[in-house]
Each structure stands twice: as structure tokens, then as C-alpha cells.
Structure 1
Amino acid sequence: MVDIAARVWNHKWKIDPIVRSLIDTDFYKLLMCQSVFRNRRDTTVTFSLINRSTHVPLAELIDEGELREQLDHVRSLSLCRGESTWLRGNTFYGKRQMFRPDFMEWFENMRLPPYELERKGDQYELTFEGPWPEVMLWEIPALAILMELRGRAVLHRLGKFELQVLYARAMTRTWEKIERLRPLDDLRIADFGTRRRHSFLWQDWCVQAMQEGLGPAFTGTSNCLIAKNRDLEAIGTNAHELPMVYAALAETDEELARAPYRVLADWHEEHEGNLRIILPDTYGTEGFLAHAPDWLAGWTGIRVDSGDPAEGAETAIRWWQERGEDPAQKLVIFSDGLDADKIVELHRQFHGRVRVSFGWGTLLTNDFRGLAPGDALAPFSLVCKAVAANGRPTVKLSDNPNKAMGPKEEIARYKRVFEVGEQTARAVVV
């Protein structure tokens, strides 16, 4: 097992680049990329970094030259033979050859497109623009780089023994959380922590700890490289990016109202089983389900990713019952701001009523709260989102207005079209 503290102390980034492979990314990005490649490859999209935690001055903490060096390194990456073989030949979600030959041929020859980086005050403005299938693959590497460089800036100030104690405490904290989860009957939990991880080495350690500590209850990781290296299931379905871009391309309010369902109609043609998971909150869960076509009720489950998680699950249960479906046969995946206590609470509330699953993110792979001087390693909310498609702004409403994004006039229009009423604001932890 890697001695992470010693590796940090002796750190040379050319030995440990932050992103060391194009498949050091979340599995859902590759699934979505194939769908986009098939259906919308000519769409021009702009992604932009958004630091919701403005109290973290990234441009003061992170050297611009080092940031550019890491971003340039990612642009030099391409699939190696072993990675290509794994993607082409492995079984994902019970399906062999998940990735089609034409997509794989494109991916094997693809390099990430250029980026634009500019300092604005104490923050960085980082944007990516180009063909959607290429640009979308910047999201996870960009976030991982910014998060880890911020961590390295803090760790650089610590001594050898301080680093040993810090990582020992973080390991103990993580293991205690795992022990807290062990008694839960029929637990299903996966690592969703790539995008805001402390570091690649730390995420890999957390995954190994989950493997040993939870056994079969640990169902896999969203990180493709770690899944490959550790012989685990790669976990992931789809994300808000798809409906946000489809909606931005809509010409009329009527097309806008249909856009989220067009996304899932395209997805329905490609995938089945546990990949048919609805993410309903992009423009409000209540309105999405109220107007959803009947065939969506037959999908496997729903991912709850904003708002009150218990309320989201109850809404899904009522919807299935109204559509003549048995909720006990449906899968509910909780994935927003989870930690051990919330996982225990939600499992106890919904176990037996639905098939419960958890995607554990930042507070699995980046919980160093209170462990560094000045709490300088506390996780923060950083996202990289599609902000425009073919020159039109994208919008996300969410079930939590604090996660909404887009121009104010467009947010108002989307709320009208999707019949979104009053919402309860919740603190965005990570």
C-alpha cells in the first residue's frame, strides 16, 4: 500500500501527475459521451469553472504556471492499449461491448481540446469550448486538478510528521465511517468521489478501504481507472449536462418543455436495466414527474441529487404508485452531500420500501475537515458546467435554488415553462 504521507513529502508531480489517464474520470461521462457522439456530435458547447465557495481564493492558493502545466499534461494524454482493451472487452452493467466500435475508434484518437485560463481577482476563469463530445471530457479532469492543487498548496506548508499525523487521522475518520455503515442490512454503496477528491492516491486508498471494510455491500466506483486497476464495477449513468444542453437547443417553449424527455428517449434506445435511471431534478422533480411519459415509469429507478433527499424519495414512491408500479421493485440512488450519518438515516427510512443505493462522493474522498491548520483542507463546492450550447445559455434549476445557474431572465423563463413554484433553499455543503 502506498505511503501517501511520504509520497506527498517527497512529491514530484511528474511522478504523480494529478490526472494520469483519460479514463481517470467518471464512468457516466463516457456513457454520456457515447450518446452525444451518436446523437449531437456537431453541437458546440462551452464549459466553465464555477467556484460556489467564493471564500476559497483559488488564484491566490494555486500558481498559474503549475495549473497550466497540469492542464497541458492532460492534453497530452491518449488511451493506452490496456485501457482501450478494457473499455472494448469488459462487461459493464451485464452488457458486453458497451462502447460501440465507431465511438472507440474516435476515442482512441481523441486529444482534449484547448482551454482558456485567465485570473479574475482571487479566482480563475477556466473555460473550454468546442465539439460537445470532446469538451465534455474536460469536466472531471479540470475539477480534479483544481481540487488537488489547492490541497497541495496547503500540504506544502506541513512538516513530515504533521503529514503523517494528518493522514493517520483522515484514515481513522474514514475507517470509523465504514464501521458505522457495516451493520446496515442489504447496504448498496459506491464511490462517487472523483470530481472533488483530495487526490488520486487518496481516492484509491478510500476505495480499497471500502472494499475491505464493506465487502459485497461496496458495489464499485465511478472512477474508471480505479475500477480497472482494482477489478471493480464501474458505476454511473447520466447527469444534468444532457438535459441542460438539449434544453438550450430548443427553439420554442414547447420544445423546451419536451427536451428533458427527448434526452431520456435517446438514452432508452441505447441502454437497459440498471442504466435506466431517471435524474429528474434538473428543472424540478415535481414538474418533471407530473408530465413524464408513461414509459418512464417502467425504468429501473431514480437518482435523488438535490433538495431534501427524503422528500425526493417520497415523491418518487408516490409517482410510481400512481403509475401502477411497485416501489419495492424500484431503485432509489441517493447522491447529494452524503456522509455516514445521513446514509444510515436514509437507509433506515427507506430500506424495504424501495431498493436503496448510495453514491458517496466528496465526504468519502475529501473529508479533511478540521485536520489542517485553519481548516485549510475543508472541502468546498467547485463545479465545471456546460454554460452554453451553440451560443445559447444553459440553465439548471435543481430542487435546491442555491444550485440554480444561468442568466436570471432565462431562469425565470424555465421556471415558467417547467411550472416550478416556491422552493426551499438548502446549504450547498459540497
Structure 2
Amino acid sequence: MLHSVLDSDQYKLSMQQAILQQIVKGGEDPLVAYRFTNRGGNLFTRATYEVVLQAVQDLGKLALTKEERVWLEKNAPFLTADYLDYLETFRYKPEEQVSVQYVVVDKDAQGQELGRFEIEIKGGWAATILYEVPLMAIISEAYFTAQETNWDYVGQYELAKAKGKALFEAGCVTSEFGTRRRRSYEAQDIIMRGLIAANEEFGGEGKGRLAGTSNVHFAQKYNIAPIGTIAHEWIMGVAALTGYEGSNGRAMDLWEKTYPSGALSIALTDTFSTKPFFDDFISDPARANRWKGLRQDSGSPFKFISLAKEAFERVGADPKQKIIVFSDGLDVAKSIELKKASDEAGVGCSFGVGTTFTNDFVKVEQPVKQDVPGEGEPRTGEPSKALNMVIKLYRINNEFCVKISDELTKNTGDEETVRVVKHRFGLE
């Protein structure tokens, strides 16, 4: 399932480096806990559970290779030699750090057990931060290979290429962000090949293009840019450790200390909803101007355009020289609409496409096994829906960590702490 320690998202590496440089700094690695939430409520068979268990144990076999380090030195220069030394010695220790429990809650018509997963990751923050993305990829692939198997890869290459063509011809600068909820490693590989082919034929200067992929392994495999900056857990952790007032600004300050070149200066705006973020953002115009742009990940992206433009103008920045990175549940049609809206508003933009690319399948009665997976015409029919799941930072040094999204259904963490933080930010 996992082919490399780099088979993960770039922002996990960049955050791990920031934790080591700004939080640990030669001292104790804060103790954290992550928890799995199955938003879709799917029940899993015991066979799926067994596949997950084995794949989690297999994570312990992964290690950075010499070839991978050389590639990172050239293509991810924001990662320091000290950090790459650390990454070479890094090993997953699933037997110590991961608990995967299977709780039976029902049986199907054939008497087969159906249950839910209770998954917790515990350990030092730097030592465990890389688990989230591969664990989610493992759960998805296990589910769709051991349980829901009425699908196949037929047409996936042409489907991805057609999506890329539509995006690039509409001027959308696009990155592939689909690792966490991919149907399988093979599925993501096919989608990458399709998008790269579309980019070669339809993308380019003055048009839309494929900017890269968040998956560092596939970036190396296809020699394209690894894309990624910050995830919510960075701001969540900083806030829980240092206090919530001004936490977005402190998280940005610590990030700039780690990446003074500004190479990774795309700020994530919705950890505690956008209002507290924009309060911190406009409070320091010089800092705001140093950042390239903002990532929108919940709430209405169309309303966000005007909020971002106003914030850029309030700090004296030209909105046309900044970018909004849209990354919340995008498909082709929505991305093109957002491109038009951003152009009309005079704000730069780019797009991170995920689940609707790497897990866009339909149900078939008789799956076809192909010599070259992905060939053929795209299939049509009833969707084979992706899992809706997250793994979020839950505690750090015994302090609860919460996320208060602009989309209320996405709030995560201890309910009482969510209430307290909402009150603190005037979000009630």
C-alpha cells in the first residue's frame, strides 16, 4: 500500500521540520494524541480491519533512501541538511505509537461482523506527525480492496486527462492533493499520469497548468514539484501550547523563522474560523505582505474571495499579486467557477484538487482486471462513494486541541474546549 516514507503530503514534512526547529529545539518533543473520525459512518468488516492492521505494521519497514534524500536536496531546498539527517533516521514505530481497535456493532445478512474503528496515535509530536496521511490512505485502500470491490480502474487515465484538459484550458493552475482519501496507490498513480499528459498537451505559459502534487513520492517519481505548506494542526498545536489569543499570528511568526525565504508562505485561514485569522493578519501589515497568499479550506469559497481581497487591500497589498489557494472539496466545475470569480474580483488564485480526482469511481457488476490499469473509455454509472474521514490532533501536553471550521459540521475536538474557544473568539 505504502511504497515510500515519502508517500505522504509535503506539508507533513514541512511541519515536522518546524516542530523540530521551533517547538522541540533540543528539548522535549511535546506528547500528542491524534484520533480518527469516520464522518461518513461506514462500517467495516473484520477482513478490512485485518488488512489495515497489517499495513500499519508494515509502516515500520519504511525509511528514507539515499536516492530520495538526494532528490529532496535538489527539489525541496527549504528542507535543511539537519532535518534531512533526522528524516534519514526517522522510523515509524506502530507497535508503540498506534492503537487500532475494532468494535463490532452489527452483522450483515450473511452473519458477517460489521464494526467501527477506534484509532489513536500517541507519542512525541515530531515522532508521530507523519502518520495521518498514510493511515488514511491505508484505511481507504483496505476498504476498497477487502470490502467494497464492485469497481475497477477502467477509463481512469482518460478521465483524469479530460479533467486536466478542462482545468488547464480554463486557466486553472492546479495541484494534485488527493493522497489522504485516494482509492489506492494505483489509482493515484493513474490520475498523476493522466494529469501530466493533460499538462503536456493543454497546459503551459499563459494558460492553466499542473503546478505539482502534494505527494512527495509521486513528485519524485514524475519529477514535478512537491506542493504543500501548513495544515491546521500547526496552528492548533501552537494555540494549545501558547494560548489562543493571537495564535494565528504566532503560528505565522514561527513559520517564518523556519522558512525565512518565504518559499512556503501560504497561510491557512480557518483553524478557528476566518474571523480570528483575519484579525491577526491585518494587525501586522508588514508580515501580511511577506506572505504569498491564503488557503481557503472551509465555508463558502465565493464569499472568501471578497474577504481575502479586502484583507489584502487593508494591508496595502495588490490582490492581483497575491493568491488564494482553494482546496475544499473541489471538482472541475467548481474550480472553473472560482477561477472566473477570482478573475472578476482581481485576485490571483490556484487550486488543490483531491478526492474528486483520486477517488472518483462508479460501481460495476463485473470488475475488469487490466494489463495496464486505467486504459479505456471512462465509465459512467452510480458513484462508488469515497470514505469521508479525518485524523486530527486531539491533545498536546494534556491540552485539548480543537478546530473551529467555517463549516460547522467540520468542527473537531473536545466539545467543552470548542465552546470555550468559540466564546474567546466571539463565535457563539
Q: How does 1:40-51 map to 2 (within 5 A)?
A: 40-41=23-24, 42-51=29-38
Alignment match, 2:262 = 273
C-alpha displacement at 1:40, in angstroms?
A: 1.9
Alignment match, 2:139 = 146
- Whether contact under 8 Å (1:332, 1:355) holds in the other structure is yes
Q: How does 1:104-253 map to 2 (within 5 A)?
A: 104-113=84-93, 114=96, 115-121=98-104, 122-154=115-147, 156=149, 166-185=152-171, 187-215=172-200, 216=204, 217-250=209-242
| 209-218 or 389-398, which deviates more | 209-218
- Name the SS for the 1:388 alignment partner: strand
C-alpha displacement at 1:171, in angstroms?
A: 3.8
CA 1:212 to 1:175, structure 2 compared with 1: closer, same or farther past 3 Å? closer
Identical aligned pairs, as a percentage? 30
- Name the SS for the 1:273 alignment partner: coil
The Cα offsets for residues 69-95 of structure 1, whole Å up to 9 and x where unpaired, read as: 1111111211111112222x2133xxx
Q: Which runs of 4+ in 1 moved over 4 A?
A: 369-376
Alignment match, 1:428 = none
* Letter of the structure 2 residue corresponding to residue 357 of structure 1: S
Distance 1:277 1:214 in 2: 24
Alignment match, 2:376 = none
The Cα offsets for residues 344-376 of structure 1, whole Å up to 9 and x where unpaired, read as: 100111126122100001101111145579968
Alignment match, 2:377 = none
C-alpha displacement at 1:377, in angstroms?
A: 3.2
- Whether contact under 8 Å (2:156, 2:191) holds in the other structure is no
Alignment match, 2:393 = 386
Distance 2:414 2:287 in 1: 30
Return the match for 2:288 from 297, 303, 317.
297
Alignment match, 1:401 = 408
Distance 2:355 2:43 in 1: 19
C-alpha displacement at 1:30, in angstroms?
A: 0.3
- Whether contact under 8 Å (2:137, 2:184) holds in the other structure is yes
**Given the two structures, how large is their TM-score scaled by the length of structure 1?**
0.85
**Unmatched 5+ stretches in structure 2:** 105-114, 367-380
C-alpha displacement at 1:44, in angstroms?
A: 0.7
| 310-319 or 228-237, which deviates more | 310-319
Alignment match, 1:11 = none
- Whether contact under 8 Å (2:248, 2:276) holds in the other structure is no
**Given the two structures, how large is their TM-score scaled by the length of structure 2?**
0.85
Return the match for 1:91 from 75, 80, 105.
75
The Cα offsets for residues 182-223 of structure 1, whole Å up to 9 and x where unpaired, read as: 4213x2101000111111121111111111112340111111
Alignment match, 2:373 = none
C-alpha displacement at 1:384, in angstroms?
A: 1.1
- Whether contact under 8 Å (1:193, 1:360) holds in the other structure is yes
- Whether contact under 8 Å (2:175, 2:351) holds in the other structure is yes
* Letter of the structure 2 residue corresponding to residue 297 of structure 1: A
Aligned residues, how many?
A: 385
Distance 1:80 1:49 in 2: 29
Alignment match, 2:14 = 31
Distance 1:399 1:90 in 2: 37
Distance 2:88 2:196 in 1: 31
C-alpha displacement at 1:419, in angstroms?
A: 2.1
CA 1:337 to 1:195, structure 2 compared with 1: closer, same or farther past 3 Å? same
